[in-house]
Amino acid sequence: MEEILKQILEGMHDIKNQVAKIDQNIQTLEHRLARLEKMDSIEHRVEVNQIDLTDIKEIVEKMDTFQRGELMDFFQVLKGTSIKKLFHEELHQINQRLDAQLTKIAKNEEAILMIEGKNHKVS
């Protein structure tokens, strides 16, 4: 009797393991099917929208040539003028602005000191 119970328990344990393996396989299959559904969905959208991959390729190539043309024009401008000269001019303008601001600050400080001096004389 004990032997039969042990065999039944072992059989049930084997069945449990087999069911667990089947469950894992089903989950793997469901995951793969979900990925395939996404792929089918993308293909369907492409077909429904009548998107042709050659059209997409042509658009990308046009954008690439346009961008290259723009960059070439930009680099031609840079070749004509020295980058160092451009930076020097920009730095010169910044320094002029700072000088103007410092002059304004100095004038305001002077006015404040004059006002304070007048207040002390009046008191």
Question: For residue 48, how far is the Cα from the chain centroid?
Answer: 30
Same-domain pairing of 11 and 38:
yes
Same-domain pairing of 34 and 14:
yes
Q: Residue 93 is part of which domain span? A: 82-123
Same-domain pairing of 38 and 56:
no
Distance between CA 115 and CA 118 in Å, rounded? 5
Same-domain pairing of 44 and 6:
yes
Same-domain pairing of 90 and 123:
yes
Domains held by the chain: number: 3
pTM for this one?
A: 0.32
State residue 111's pLDDT score: 86
User: 25-77, pLDDT tens digit by residue?
Assistant: 888 888 887 777 766 666 655 555 555 666 667 777 777 777 677 767 766 66
User: 105-119, pLDDT tens digit by residue?
Assistant: 888 888 888 888 877
Which string of b and e fits 14-46 if b means at least 16 CB within 10 Å?
eeeeeeeeeeeeeeeeeeeeeeeeeeeeeeeee
Same-domain pairing of 16 and 29:
yes
State residue 9's pLDDT score: 82
Alpha-helical segments (H) within 49-82:
53-80
Same-domain pairing of 44 and 1:
yes
